[in-house]
Amino acid sequence: MNRRASGIVRSLFRYAAVVFACLLALFPIYWMFSTSIKLPDEWVATPSVWFPSKPVLINYQFIFSGSYEYLIGRRPEEATQFYSFAWSSMKPIFDSLILSTFGTLIALFAGTLSAYALSRYGPKGAPPPVFPLMYRMFPPVAIIVPVVIMYATLKLTDTYPGIIILYSTLTVPLVLWLMKSFFDEIPREIDEAAILDGCSLFGAFYRGVLPLVKAGLAVTGLFIFMLDWSDFMGVLLLGGRNVVTIPLKLAEYTSGHGELYGPMAAMGTIAVIPPLIFGILIQKYLVRGFTFGAIKG
Amino acid sequence: MDLNNPKTFTRLFGLPMSALLYFLGVFPLALEVYVSLTDWYPIGGQQYFWDSRFIGLGNFVEYFQDPLFGGSILRTVIVVVVAISLEFVFGLILALLFMDRFRGKTIFTSIVLLPMMTVPAVTGYIFRMLFLYAGPVNDALSAIAGTRVSVGWLTSAWPALTSVILMDVWQWTPLMFLILLSGLLALPQDPINAAYVLGASKWQAFRHIMLPMMKPIILVGLVIRTMDAIKIFDGVFLMTHGGPGYSTQTLSLFLYEIGFKYMRLGYTAAMALTVLVCLALFTRYVAIKPLKPKV
C-alpha cells in the first residue's frame, strides 16, 4: 500500500513538472498569438492584458489587405505610413516561400548526390565531411565581406538567384551528413544486386537506392526548408529591397514602426506556422537533423 | 568518359556540391585574406576593394587593442557558457522526466519541442515583447513578489544580457533535451539493473552508471550547441539590437556593426578571418571527434 501511494505521488510529481515545462514552452508563443488578436490599446498596457478582452482579426486583415479600421482617428501622415506598411506585407510571405523552396531543392540535389558518393565510395570523390562541417560552424557574418564583394561584382546582390545560392550553400553540408546517414542504413547489397542485374552505377543509385530513401529525402527536405525559412542574416546582408523575407520584415518593424505590436505579432504568427507544422511532422528525426546525423534518435 | 568507372562516377556526383562550396567558400576566403590586409573603407572614397591601400598586418594589430572586439568575444563567451550550462541542466531534468512511458507522453513531447521549431528572429521579437517594461515578465514577477516589480530588462546592461540568455535557453533547451533523451533511451539496461541488484540507490545508479555511459552523447549535445550558440545573432538583433550601449553586442553583432554600419570592411575582414581560423581549428580538433564515431 505504502509503495503504491509513493508511486502515485511520484507520478503526480512527474505530471506537475511536465505540465510546468509545457507551460513555459508554450507561454511565449501564446503571448505572440494573443497579441496578434488583441485590439491596439491592449498590445502594451499596464498591467498587461493576459487574455484579449475581445479577440479580433484586424491585425491579420491589416497585414493582408491594409484594412482601414486602423486609420480612423489617426493623423494623415501616420495614416500614410501605416498604409505603405500594410501594402508591402504580402511580398515577404511570397519571398520566403520562393527562396526556401528553391534553396531547399538545390541543396537537396547537390547534397544527396555527394552523400551517395560518400556513403558508397568513401571520401575520395566527394568533399571530405569535415570541410562542410566547418561551413555549418562559421558565423555567416564572418565570411560575408568577400561574399558581398563577389555578389556586387556578379550583380547577384538582392536577387532571388543570389539568395537561393547562399541558402543552398549554407545548408548543403547538413544535407550531406543527413542523407549520408540515411544511405548508410541501406545495405550495399541493394546496389550490388542492381549492378549484377545490368544497371549502370547511376541506375543502381536512381532505381535501386533512391526509392528506398524517399522518406529520408522528405525529412531532410522539410528540415532544410525549416532552416531556410528561419534565415535572417542572409537576407539582412544580401537582400533588403527586392528580396524581403518575413523575418527581415519583422526586423524592419522593430526599428521603424515600434508601436505596431499587433500586426507584428500577426506576422510572427504566420512566420512560425510552417516550421511548427513541419517540425512536428519530422519530430522523430529532429535530433538527427540537428546533430548532423550523429544521433539517430 | 566512362560513367561506370567508380572514380568518374563519384567525381561527377560530388560536383554540384563542390561547386557550391567553392563558389561561396574557398574563393571568398581567398578574397577575405586579401581584403583583411587593406584599409578598405568604401564610404571614404575607395569604392572598390582594389582602390584600397595595402596596410599589411595593421588591422590585426588594431583589433588587439580594440576593447569592443574583446568585449564582444567576452559577451559571446558569457552567453555561450551560461546558456549552455542551463540548457544542459534543464534538458537533463526533462529527459529524465520523459524517460519512462506515461500517459500523454507523445503530445507533451511535441509541446516541449515547439520552441526549437520557432523561427529564431521571431523568438527575438517575442522575447522583446515579454521583457518590455510593461510586459508580462515584470507582471508575473510583481504577482510573485507582491509589490510592483519594474525591471528595465531591455534598458539596462545585465538584465538585457540575462534576457538574451533566457531567450537562448528557452529556444534551445528542447534540443538538448532531445539529444539527452535519445542518449538515455539507448543506454543498455543490464549495468543499471546490476547496480540496483547490488544495492545502489537511484541517484548512485544515475551518477555512477548512467551519466558516464552517456558521455559521448553529452559531448555531441555540448559541441552542437556550442557551434550554434557562438553564432547567436538573429534573436539578439531583434530583441536588443546589441544594446543598451554595447551590453548585448555579441561577436556576430559586432562584426555586423563594424562592417555594415561603419563600413570598415578591411578591418572587419581581418577580425572575421581570425574568428574563422579559430573556429576552424575548434571544428577540426574538438567538434569533429564527438561527431565522428557515429558518422
Across A232-255, average pLDDT: 83
Sole residue written with cell 539568395? A163
Side chain identity at residue B273, one-letter code: L
Q: Which of A31, A102, A116, A134 should one mutate to test binding to chain B, selecting the residue with the greatest count of B CBs within 10 A?
A: A134
| Per-residue pLDDT at A277 | 93
Average pLDDT over residues A247-272: 79
Name which of B15, B23, B24, B76 to mutate to probe chain A: the one with the most chain A Cβ atoms within 10 A of its Cβ.
B24
At which residue does the C-alpha cell 548512467 appear? B210
**pLDDT computed for residue A256 by the predictor:** 55
| DSSP character at residue A69 | G
CA atoms within 13 A on the CB side of A155: 0
For residue B54, the SS3 value is strand
Nearest chain A Cα to B102, which residue? Answer: A11
Residue by residue, DSSP assigns A195-239 as: HHTT--HHHIIIIIIGGGGHHHHHHHHHHHHHHHHH--HHHHHH-
Q: What residues of A are in contact with residue B269 (Cβ under 8 Å)?
A: 145-146
Q: How confident is the model at residue A77 (pLDDT cuts 50, 70, 90)?
A: low
- pLDDT tens, B37-54? 888 877 777 777 777 777
pLDDT of the residue at A168: 92
Residue of A nearest to B143 (CA): A47
Q: Where are the alpha helices (DSSP H) in chain B?
A: 6-21, 27-36, 58-64, 67-97, 105-117, 120-130, 136-145, 157-185, 189-197, 202-204, 211-213, 215-230, 234-239, 251-260, 265-282, 288-291
CA distance A141 to chain B (A): 6
Residue A259: pLDDT over 70? no
Least confident of A16-25, B1-10, B44-53, B119-128: B44-53
| CB of B147 less than 8 A from some CB of A | no
Whether A137 and B23 have beta carbons less than 8 Å apart is answered as: no
CATH superfamily of A90-290: MetI-like (1.10.3720.10)
Average pLDDT of chain A is 83
* Helix or strand (DSSP H, E) at B49: none
Q: Which of B1, B2, B10 to mutate to test the interface with A (most CBs of A within 10 A)?
A: B10
Beta strands per DSSP E along A40-136: none
Better-predicted residue by pLDDT, B111 or A195: B111
Helix (H) or strand (E) holding A170: helix A160-184
* Among chain A residues, CA nearest to B277: A138
Q: Which chain B residue shows the shortest CA-CA distance from A111?
A: B17
Q: Inter-chain contact A126–B10, Cβ cutoff 8 Å?
A: yes
- Residue A25: exposed, middle, or buried by beta-carbon count in 10 A (0-12, 13-18, 19+)? buried
Query: In this prediction, what percent of chain B has a pLDDT beyond 90?
Result: 29
Residues of A in contact with B10 (CB under 8 A): 117, 121, 124-126
- Whether the CB-CB separation of B32 and B273 falls below 8 Å is answered with yes
**Out of A112-116, A199-203, B180-184, which region has the weakest mean confidence (pLDDT)?**
A199-203
What is the average pLDDT across A13-23? 93
Q: What is the largest CA-CA distance in chain A?
A: 79
Query: Please, which residues have CB within 8 angstroms of residue B30's CB and are 6 or more apart in sequence?
Result: A146
Residue in A closest to B9 by C-alpha: A201
Is the pLDDT reported for residue B294 higher than 50?
A: no
Domain segments of chain B as ranges:
68-291
* CATH code reported for the domain at B68-291: 1.10.3720.10
| Contact indicator for A199, A207 with CB cutoff of 8 Å | yes
Provide the pLDDT for residue A66.
Answer: 59
Which residues are registered as beta bridge partners of A77? Answer: none
More confident residue, B249 or B286: B249
As beta bridge partners, residue B54 has B38
pLDDT tens-place string over residues B217-235: 899 899 889 988 998 999 9
A77 CA: distance to closest CA in chain B (Å): 26
pLDDT of A86 reads 54
Within 151-210 of B, beta carbons closer than 8 Å to A belong to 170, 174-175, 178-179, 182-183
What per-residue confidence (pLDDT) applies to B293? 45
pLDDT at A131 over 70: no
Model confidence, pTM: 0.89
The Cα B289–Cα B272 span in angstroms is 25
Q: Where are the domains of chain A?
A: 2-83, 90-290
* pLDDT tens per residue across span B203-215: 888 888 888 999 8
| Mean pLDDT along residues A278-294 | 85
C-beta atoms of A28 and B49 within 8 A: no
Cβ-Cβ pairs closer than 8 A, A with B, add up to 320
Q: What is the pLDDT of residue A130?
A: 63
Residue B282 has pLDDT above 90, yes or no: no
